[in-house]
Amino acid sequence: MTDAFKTFVAIEYKKDSGHAYWGTPVVPVSFAGSHAVNGVVSGTAINTFDSSVIGPLTIDSRTLTTNYNVADNATGAQELWLRGGFEWQPLSNITIKDQVYSYQAKRHWLDSETYTFNLTTMTIDRDRFAVFHNQNIFGNNADLTWDSLIFGMENRFAAQLQTSSNRITFKEDISEPFPDDTVSVVNPQPGVYGPLLLSTRNSKLDDIAGSFEDRLKLTPAFALIGGVRVERLALSRDGVNADGTIPSGLPFSVSWEPVSYRAAYTYDPIPGLTLYSMYATAYNPAVAAVFSITPGTSLQLTSSRIYETGAKQLFWDNKAEWTVALYDIVQRNVFIPISTTETVVAGEVRSKGIELAAAARPVEGLKLWGNAALIHARFGNFGAFTGNVPPNVAPLVVNAGLSYRFGHWRWPLEIGGSIRYVGNRFLEQDNLTILNAYTTADIYAFLDIPGRDLAMPELKNVRISMRVRNLTNAVYAAWSDTTYPDQILLGAPRTYEIGASARW
């Protein structure tokens, strides 16, 4: 290797295994009675298995730490990621990079994942759901960057060529009828998974894409940016059901050749202040659903159109900064999962919003920061759901925090805290179930101990960290999975953490 030519090789291996929590079922207020937990969830829900209406809704305090999964549930994955490449600078203004990679993964889930309240029996009905992945991805990315002058104006040209092949064998237990069994709401007996009936789907997604982008600085303060991406995607799919029959619609193959582009500008009217605007389009094959046993009926690409404009400034002798961004995004032909085995396609999702952020260091050691996002998102051309809010989208999210570092101490100490507010969200596309707004708070402390004080001078420092998450022990709905409309994922209760890390 030389200063002009560098190579690299990277190997990453991961293995994990564990047991899953898929949510806490919602129950009628009339059932929970005095055990109803207020302020977590409200509205009504539709029973997944018999379509009965459950509500008004609440969470039963007796179930806050209950996992309704089967006793022998298991999740895990093994992943191997290999990468290698080079960076070459044949001339001072030209840089060429290339990376080849291979990614392999084997994953498994063995669970009961749907828990729905039965109005007749006053119990919880459950399903069975198992998934096994065997995935292999191979690809190459090549990049060229060329800095030059055009009529005395600075110009940067960048080009990229990408190729990849994604092959996945997907096995899933979609045995019916549902529900598979019933357990009590309070102190349920978990039971075991039972026999497996696996259906198989094999998918191959090949992609080759070429793109270029050019940035021309018309003046030292004003630059124009433009780019085009030309792509060819080819999908093939086949499979067999657990009973040996060939699934309807398989095998098939389809290809797409989308062209996307973007245009933007940046303007620095004064030092430290940057204004920008951008328009872009994009395409992806999400609707192909290579990770789903039963994909949506449409094989059109999901397309996006994005407008964004904003500003950012660093000022007060670099002790303060702020940013603002406004955006308008339209996605068409959007992949929407509605159950563990079924997906549909929404014609359109529109999102508009503004994001604000600021930070300051008014005195040495003290940091103040905050950010907020206001979002207006709606479904379009989606049947009865047209005009509804997409699941898990809060109209307002706010974060704020402060910290102080005693940097002149022999062992520097930093203490701080933050708060987070998340507004009301909906669990499903029907907007019948509301995940109520919540506020959480965290506090932390970092203590940096120089290596010399630990008889380890080769270490720069050892950091001891202590953190308390969800300080007030709030009970709240953190998130919902739209494939499980009868339950919500509760946020973690008050949690204490301690850790250590070293730098050398």
pLDDT at residue 123, as a whole number? 97
Distance (Å) of CA 81 to CA 51, 132, 135: 44, 19, 12
Q: pLDDT, tens digit, for every residue of 40-97? A: 999 999 998 898 999 899 999 999 999 999 999 999 999 999 999 999 999 999 999 9
328 contacts 348 by C-beta, under 8 angstroms: no
Cα(47)–Cα(26) distance, integer angstroms: 10
pLDDT at residue 45, as a whole number? 93
Q: pLDDT, tens digit, for every residue of 443-493? A: 999 999 998 888 888 788 899 999 999 999 999 999 988 778 899 999 999
pLDDT at residue 289, as a whole number? 60
Q: pLDDT, tens digit, for every residue of 324-338? A: 999 999 999 887 776
DSSP 338-407: -SSS-EEEEEEEEEEEEEEEEEE-SSTTEEEEEEEEEEEEEEES-GGGTTPPPTT--SEEEEEEEEEEET
Q: Which two tokens stand for residue 270?
A: 């004064």
The rounded mean pLDDT for the chain is 93
Distant-in-sequence contacts of 37-40, Cβ < 8 A, 24+ apart = 37/61, 37/64, 37/475, 39/436, 39/438, 39/475, 39/476, 40/435, 40/436, 40/475, 40/476, 40/477, 40/488, 40/490
Cα(399)–Cα(419) distance, integer angstroms: 6
Cα(195)–Cα(74) distance, integer angstroms: 15
* β-pair partners for 85: 8, 99
422 contacts 437 by C-beta, under 8 angstroms: yes
pLDDT at residue 290, as a whole number? 59
Cα(65)–Cα(443) distance, integer angstroms: 24
What domains appear along the chain, each with residue ranges and CATH number?
Answer: 74-111+129-174+197-267 (2.40.160), 269-386 (no CATH)
pLDDT tens per residue, the chain (504 residues)?
Answer: 678 899 999 999 999 999 999 999 999 999 999 999 999 999 999 998 898 999 899 999 999 999 999 999 999 999 999 999 999 999 999 999 999 999 999 999 999 999 999 999 999 999 999 999 999 999 999 999 999 999 999 999 999 999 999 999 989 987 666 788 999 999 999 999 999 989 999 999 999 999 999 999 999 999 999 999 999 999 888 999 999 999 888 888 888 999 999 999 999 999 999 999 999 999 987 655 655 655 545 567 889 999 999 999 999 999 999 999 999 999 998 877 766 666 777 889 999 999 999 999 999 999 999 999 999 999 999 989 999 999 999 999 999 999 999 999 999 999 999 999 999 999 999 999 999 999 999 999 999 999 888 888 878 889 999 999 999 999 999 998 877 889 999 999 999 999 999 877
pLDDT at residue 252, as a whole number? 84
Q: Which of the 8 DSSP states describes residue 318?
A: T
